[in-house]
Amino acid sequence: MKRVTLFGATGSVGQSAIDLIARDLDAYDVVALTGGRNLVQLATDAVRLRADLAVTCYPECYDALKQLLAGTGVAVAAGPDAIAEAAARPVDWALSAIIGAAGLVPGLVALEHGTTLALANKESLVTAGPLLMAKAQSHGATVLPVDSEHSAVFQALVGEDMAAVERVIITASGGAFRDWPVAKLAKATLAEASCHPNWNMGQRITIDSASMFNKGMELIETKEFFGVDPDMIEVLVHRESLIHALVGFNDGALMAHVGPPDMRHAIGYALHWPDRRALPVERLDLAKIGALTFEAPDQSRYPALALAQRVMQTGGLAGAVFNAAKERALDGFIAGQIGFMDMSRIVEATLDTMTASAGLQNVPITLDTVLQTDRLARIRAAEAISQLG
Ligand code: NAD
Ligand code: MG
């Protein structure tokens, strides 16, 4: 039996993982599930998956979760420390599907214990990529990509020599506003930004797809995970979301990964890796699909892409600033404090301020420096938001 823990089990990615695990329960020993305020979901899944432990990240939710799980035999805990403690429990495979920088610590703890970490939480790589990858290496642990583009690149690289790789192309649907006039974007509402044309995902990543902050994060994620030069990574708008990434080799070949837009493919690939097993995802009928389209991204529509390029060139703690400022700006957009296009302005202003004052390139990347930078960048981003108003 494979011992597994799912961080962020109640979210969009977590639920897709549960769908796969629940189909073959006898193959898994579920150690811990973690979630947030969706306590009924967390408790129901913990009982259904016969988990040892259920953890909510909110201490104030402890009593309610305890009550929901009374008499079931599932242990209950609450708070960020409890999630980190859950990460120290021995398992063979852990899914990191918490949203935001909160995913970093449990991922690092799991790696310290030699756990194979299936990483959906892109914020870990954006904020602290070198730290995370070094932690995996020093503890003999494996990190497997779960973001669909990175799983696609990973699969295209099986059996290949990295020295033969010339470029890595990650695709983007273009998000909710791909056909809007750029001038109208400033007025985009929360409801309009929360609909994705192809993927069904959590609200935050859906809005990040409309702004392409998500793709910007994925550029950085590509650099950190595969260790490729920023100049080798490209974004290609591909409306159909069927090709997830392409790898270009020095003989001119491009290896493309094609599949339905269903996260259960990338999760399932990581769950069964290094094997490939049958998965309950749609089989594409390419004759019916007929045509696939490709466009270069419009930089004026998606300023997040240039900001991500800048972050990759700067290196060091710039990723931690980028992510924290983006999270704070997204909070501001969701709360109606700022407009849609203001999000990139806030991130740019925060990068400007902190590059000038904090020496982002020269400070070593440790958990402390990352968390400190994250806190400071949120403060600077909040200041930038209040200056806008
Ligand atoms: P989601 O919002 O649907 O779920 C997030 C999960 O994290 C929930 O279980 C929630 O309870 C938990 N959580 C939220 N705040 C937390 C905190 N402070 N501490 C601990 N747990 C917390 O998010 P999602 O769309 O499933 O995305 C999860 C991660 O996977 C993100 O990093 C996202 O970028 C990445 N990702 C998602 C998709 C997708 O299809 N949704 C695709 C690729 C990558
Ligand atoms: Mg993705």
Residue 27 in domain:
yes
For the record, the structure tokens of 375 come out as 């806190």
Ligand number, closest to the Cα atom of 204 = 1
122 CB near ligand 1 (under 6 Å): yes
- The DSSP-derived string for 313-329 is HH-TTHHHHHHHHHHHH
199 CB near ligand 1 (under 6 Å): yes
Residue (of 90, 56, 106, 105) closest to 76 by Cα position: 56
Q: Are 253 and 161 found together in one domain? A: yes
Q: Any idea what the CATH number is for the domain that residue 372 is in?
A: 1.10.1740.10
Instruction: Take atom 4 of ligand 1 and give the residue whose Cα is closest.
Output: 11
Q: Say how far apart CA 306 and CA 293 lie, in whole Å.
A: 23
Q: Are 326 and 198 found together in one domain? A: no
Of the candidates 124, 145, 166, which is a domain's last residue? 145
Longest dimension (CA), the chain: 62
Q: How far is the CA of 289 from the centre of ligand 2 (A)?
A: 22
State phi, psi for 247 to the nearest 5 degrees.
-115, 125
Residue 108 in domain:
yes
Name the β-bridge partners of 143.
117
Q: Are 124 and 155 found together in one domain? A: no
Residue 274 in domain:
no
Residue 125 in domain:
yes
Q: Are 140 and 31 found together in one domain? A: yes
248 CB near ligand 1 (under 6 Å): no
86 CB near ligand 1 (under 6 Å): no
For the record, the structure tokens of 183 come out as 């001038």
Residue 204 in domain:
yes
Q: Are 240 and 195 found together in one domain? A: yes
Q: Are 211 and 106 found together in one domain? A: no
Number of H helices, E strands in the chain: 16, 11
Contact 110, 96 (CB under 8 A): yes
Q: Say how far apart CA 56 and CA 185 lie, in whole Å.
A: 36
10 CB near ligand 1 (under 6 Å): yes
Q: Any idea what the CATH number is for the domain that residue 95 is in?
A: 3.40.50.720
Instruction: Take atom 39 of ligand 1 and give the residue whose Cα is closest.
Output: 201
Instruction: Take atom 31 of ligand 1 and give the residue whose Cα is closest.
Output: 99
Q: Are 51 and 68 found together in one domain? A: yes
What domain range includes position 333?
A: 315-388
| Number of domain units in the chain | 3
Residue 19 in domain:
yes
- pLDDT in 10s for each residue of the chain, 389 residues: 999 999 999 999 999 999 999 999 999 999 999 999 999 999 999 999 999 999 999 999 999 999 999 999 999 999 999 999 999 999 999 999 999 999 999 999 999 999 999 999 999 999 999 999 999 999 999 999 999 999 999 999 999 999 999 999 999 999 999 999 999 999 999 999 999 988 888 999 999 999 999 999 999 999 999 999 999 999 999 999 999 999 999 999 999 999 999 999 999 999 999 999 999 999 999 999 999 999 999 999 999 999 999 999 999 999 999 999 999 999 999 999 999 999 999 999 999 999 987 678 888 999 999 999 999 999 999 999 999 86
Of the candidates 145, 162, 197, which is a domain's last residue? 145
Q: Is the pTM value of this prediction over 0.75?
A: yes
Q: Are 206 and 256 found together in one domain? A: yes
Ligand 1 atom having least distance to the Cα of 8: 9
Q: Are 73 and 115 found together in one domain? A: yes
Sign of CA dihedral 191, 197, 202, 208: negative
Q: In what order do the strands lie in the sheet with 53-56?
A: 75-78, 53-56, 28-35, 2-7, 93-96, 116-119, 143-145
Residue 346 in domain:
yes
What's at 326, amino acid-wise? K
Residue 187 in domain:
yes
End-to-end CA distance of the chain: 56
Q: Are 42 and 136 found together in one domain? A: yes
Q: Are 164 and 120 found together in one domain? A: no
Q: Are 132 and 20 found together in one domain? A: yes
